[in-house]
Amino acid sequence: MIQNKKIQFEELGLKEYQEAFDYQEKRMKEIIDLKLKNRDRNDGIYEKTPNYLLFVEHPHVYTLGKSGDEENMLANSEKLKEINATFIKTNRGGDITYHGFGQIVGYPIVDLDNFKSDIHLYMRNLEEVIIRTIAEYGLKGERSEGETGVWLDVGKPYARKICAMGVKTSKWVTMHGFALNVNTDLRYFEYIIPCGIKDKTVTSLKRELEREFSPEEIVEVKTKIKKHFEDVFVAVIE
């Protein structure tokens, strides 16, 4: 197999969750179809499978992973309508989380056969991308054993999550990804038990740095994520 290290970045802008989900599935299917085509060839000519990182922002939405507990959704339908939010069950791993304005959501649609076919390593690499990114803002991101994502002050009573993660893979092709809180309205997390973890809270770059990020600065954060994504994932196979 010919490995393709190149990452193609796409900015989707503001999109409803379902629309972005459908687009992820389209990209994923394209890659899987190409892998199957390569597998069935007998002429020795193979096409490289592409890798994407999609950036998107969602209107207020709560999503529940396939292994999640619906009881972690604390708001009923009337409350959801009141706060202008929706609730969707999805096919990623993990429990419940929130997406909304001021949050950078990244969906890597990558062929892990281009890197390493190891989902545990993939998740740790995603965490590493965010850890390196927020380090540029003076924040020490950490991993919390048994709890996916990026955290601050792990092991302390005030440990808090700044980036949630949940993925799905098929034929070693990924979808879903990470949600980094930048200017996120953290009050929306009050209506769920985030990721099903009852004894920890959530935070954002805005809260930690005590300032609002301008649209230009949010673009800069994405640029940093792109750089670290390429650095981390290329390093895996070199």
For residue 112, pLDDT over 90 is answered with yes
Confidence of residue 238 (pLDDT cuts 50, 70, 90): very low
User: Phi and psi of 108, rounded to 5°?
Assistant: -75, 125
CATH number of 67's domain: 3.30.930.10
pTM of the model as a whole: 0.93
195-200 CB contacts, 8 Å cutoff, 24+ apart: 195/94, 195/95, 195/96, 195/97, 195/147, 195/148, 195/149, 195/161, 195/164, 196/68, 196/69, 196/72, 196/95, 196/96, 197/147, 197/161, 200/147, 200/151, 200/159, 200/160, 200/161
Residue 182 resides in a domain: yes
Q: Which of 134, 195, 202, 232 is labelled catalytic?
A: 195
Residue 61 resides in a domain: yes
Residue 116 resides in a domain: yes
163 given a catalytic annotation:
no
Residue 222 resides in a domain: yes
Task: Give the per-residue pLDDT at 69.
Answer: 84
- Report the residue count for the chain: 238
CA atoms of 193 and 62, how far apart (whole Å): 11
Residue 1 resides in a domain: no
User: Considering only CA atoms, which of 112, 122, 130, 109 is closest in space to residue 54?
Assistant: 109
Domain that holds residue 29: 8-236
Confidence of residue 46 (pLDDT cuts 50, 70, 90): confident
Residue 49 resides in a domain: yes
Residue 2 resides in a domain: no
Under 8 Å between Cβ of 49 and 31: yes
Write down the H helix ranges in 41-113. Answer: 77-82
Confidence of residue 4 (pLDDT cuts 50, 70, 90): confident
Could you report the per-residue pLDDT of 67-108, keeping only the tens digit for each?
788 888 899 999 999 999 999 999 888 888 999 999 999 999
The mean per-residue pLDDT over the stretch 39-57 comes to: 89
Query: How many CB atoms are closer than 10 A to CB 66?
Result: 13
Domains of the chain: total: 1
- 46 three-class SS: coil
Task: Give the per-residue pLDDT at 113.
Answer: 94
Task: Give the per-residue pLDDT at 237.
Answer: 46
Residue 189 resides in a domain: yes
Give residue 89's Cα distance to chain centre. Answer: 16
